[in-house]
């Protein structure tokens, strides 16, 4: 079954589900039921709150409707007729949709007594709906606006064969086991306390170690590539955000008043970096200038879209801005692409998809057509230099420039937002940013906005799920646990622990009054790369027994040899 046939099947399954809900619960107001990647959902308004038990009932009712083999009939009618029809059916959301649709006619689909507003197409009979599963419940605001009514959403999936459905459900189970929110709790990496507010992350000691290792890597790599480190404040006057255009374009910011002056909490770092650049005259001889900051920013995301580390309100970006001449622009973009792919490979991401995000609607952007065309062509030329295959994502650029978006592919084949590179000829104009050329005249620099990993929070979420929490040795917050077999080996275990810790190994000592099997199991549950077992024999020989995560054992290992093994893995980032 090809993609278009699957889409038709899933759309039809969504309608069968909606029919099942109306038959089971009576007074139900139907919202929308589109297909999505690998499935579908439908939004409902009703007095009853869905439960997991209801899902089973709905699936059973869907099976019954499919067996009826009802013909699914398309009917075209005038918008006026459709509005009257759905008013009589007490379906206000359908009436609202009809009033917003262009043209004078709409289509509806009927299956038995059930009727729904829809463009289609659909299967010809309900018996085609066979291999499906309802997956989860969620809340959703009507039309995604939190000022509107909260609806109940049911997610589902449908496939052409039972084997395809079973394979997909197995994949979902593996994804659930890798869920970074689950692993974040189990491995004690981070939390999102309700007391702080939605979308705000607290990093626990082990999570802070992981994040620190990534940040140290980034600082080292930026130094190699000629970036200067800068730091900007978290709040800035609203006048600055009006100059940048964020204020006028309705960017999701937080604003507040101090002594009659309005300020905004920064959603990005670029205005501060521009002010650093403007703090003194710049010559063409000094360009390119590359500023880097691990800058924490805040965005007013709706609570309904927040999701663990992947979508938060406060996050830190490995943010940089490059000021260069137009002649240097393509070479700088090429350098950023090299840098980004090096970083991704270092963290175990070897496959990517690349997209060129072009100009949104002109009334939602700043800058001239000429500048947008020049910036877009520079991005294309840099990708062609690398031989990068890319797809165009129309209208998904920022309000000030086009961008390259790199989606990294994880161990399960899922795509995650990664590096972005934006060419900006507009903010330098708006901030009156200049350099002096070899003609002693003033010229506008090009400004390249880029991140090579992106949001630290989102990247670490992807990293957790890619490795299933089993980080490579150089990234593991705890690299080894020393576990004495009995009290008789406790002193020797403590000596080994001190030796390893003194040599820079991230090590813990488990000297609890538990069996050795329990200690080994605890280390494996925490996904620690090595458990170092020491008993009376090891104490007598001055060695350790090394057990890795796969269960392989090595006996008679000298502590110094193990320390060098860890050091080599850290050097090689393996």
Which positions are catalytic? 270, 299, 317, 319, 321, 403, 449
Chain centroid to Cα 23, Å, comes to 38
Closest C-alpha to 360, from 327, 393, 330: 393
Helix (H, G, I), strand (E, B) or coil at 14: helix
Q: Cα(396)–Cα(375) distance, rounded to whole angstroms?
A: 14
- By the 8 A CB rule, do 137 and 152 touch? yes
As a whole number of Å, the end-to-end CA separation of the chain is 41
- By the 8 A CB rule, do 372 and 422 touch? no
Q: Cα(434)–Cα(447) distance, rounded to whole angstroms?
A: 11
- By the 8 A CB rule, do 304 and 146 touch? yes
Q: Cα(542)–Cα(535) distance, rounded to whole angstroms?
A: 10
Helix (H, G, I), strand (E, B) or coil at 389: coil
User: Can you read off the two tokens belonging to residue 191?
Assistant: 């939390």
Closest C-alpha to 160, from 4, 41, 35, 299: 4
- By the 8 A CB rule, do 455 and 542 touch? no
Rounded to the nearest 10 degrees, how much is the dihedral formed by the CA atoms of 367, 371, 377, 378? -100
- Give the Å distances, CA to CA, from 437 to 300, 323, 444, 564: 41, 14, 10, 53
Q: Cα(519)–Cα(545) distance, rounded to whole angstroms?
A: 14
Beta pairing partners, 509? 482
- By the 8 A CB rule, do 31 and 44 touch? yes
Q: What φ, ψ does residue 229 adopt, rounded to 5°?
A: -85, 135
């Amino acid at each position: 079954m090809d993609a278009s046939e699957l889409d038709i099947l899933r759309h039809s399954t969504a309608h069968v589900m909606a029919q099942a809900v109306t038959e089971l619960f009576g007074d139900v107001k139907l919202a929308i039921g589109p297909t999505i990647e690998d499935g579908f959902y439908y939004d409902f308004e009703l007095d009853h709150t869905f439960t997991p038990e209801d899902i089973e009932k709905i699936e059973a009712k869907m099976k019954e409707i499919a067996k009826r083999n009802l013909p699914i009939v398309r009917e075209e009618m005038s918008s006026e007729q459709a509005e009257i029809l759905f008013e009589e059916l007490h379906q206000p959301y359908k009436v609202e949709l009809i009033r917003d649709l262009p043209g004078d006619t709409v289509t509806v689909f009927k299956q038995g007594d059930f009727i729904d507003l829809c463009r289609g197409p659909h299967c010809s009979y309900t018996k085609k709906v066979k291999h499906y599963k309802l997956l989860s419940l969620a809340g959703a605001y009507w039309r995604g606006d939190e000022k509107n009514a909260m609806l109940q959403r049911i997610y589902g999936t449908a496939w052409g064969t039972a084997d395809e459905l079973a394979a997909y459900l197995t994949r979902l189970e593996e994804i659930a086991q890798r869920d970074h929110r689950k692993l974040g709790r189990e491995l004690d990496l981070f939390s999102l306390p309700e007391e702080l507010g939605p979308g705000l992350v607290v990093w626990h000691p082990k999570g802070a170690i992981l994040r620190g290792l990534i940040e140290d890597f980034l600082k080292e790599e930026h130094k190699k590539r000629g970036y200067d480190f800068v730091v900007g404040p978290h709040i800035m006057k609203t006048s600055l955000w009006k100059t940048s255009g964020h204020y006028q374009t309705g960017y999701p910011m937080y604003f507040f008043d101090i002594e009659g002056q309005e300020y905004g909490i920064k959603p990005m770092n670029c205005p501060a970096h521009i002010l650093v650049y403007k703090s003194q005259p710049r010559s063409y001889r000094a360009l390119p200038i590359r500023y880097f900051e691990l800058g924490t920013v805040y965005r007013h995301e709706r609570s309904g879209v927040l999701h663990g580390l992947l979508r938060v309100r406060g996050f830190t970006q490995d943010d940089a801005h490059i000021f260069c001449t137009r002649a240097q622009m393509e070479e700088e973009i090429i350098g950023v692409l090299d840098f980004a792919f090096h970083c991704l490979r270092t963290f175990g991401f070897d496959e990517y998809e690349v997209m060129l995000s072009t100009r949104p609607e002109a009334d939602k952007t700043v800058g001239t057509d000429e500048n947008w065309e020049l910036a877009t062509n520079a991005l294309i030329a840099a990708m062609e230099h690398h031989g990068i295959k890319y797809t165009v994502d129309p209208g998904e650029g920022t309000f000030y420039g086009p961008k390259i978006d790199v989606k990294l592919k994880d161990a399960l084949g899922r795509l995650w937002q990664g590096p972005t590179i934006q060419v900006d000829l507009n903010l330098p104009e708006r901030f009156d940013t200049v350099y002096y050329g070899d003609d002693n005249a003033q010229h506008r620099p090009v400004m390249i906005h880029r991140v090579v990993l992106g949001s630290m929070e989102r990247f670490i979420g992807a990293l957790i799920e890619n490795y299933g929490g089993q980080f490579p040795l150089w990234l593991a917050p705890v690299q080894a646990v020393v576990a004495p077999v009995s009290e008789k080996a406790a002193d020797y275990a403590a000596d080994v622990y001190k030796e390893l810790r003194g040599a820079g190994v991230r090590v813990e000592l488990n000297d609890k009054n538990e069996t050795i099997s329990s200690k080994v199991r605890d280390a494996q549950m925490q996904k620690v790369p090595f458990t170092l077992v020491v008993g009376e024999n090891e104490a007598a020989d001055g060695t350790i027994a090394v057990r890795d995560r796969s269960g392989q054992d090595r006996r008679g290992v000298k502590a110094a040899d193990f320390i060098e093994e860890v050091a080599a893995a850290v050097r090689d980032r393996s």
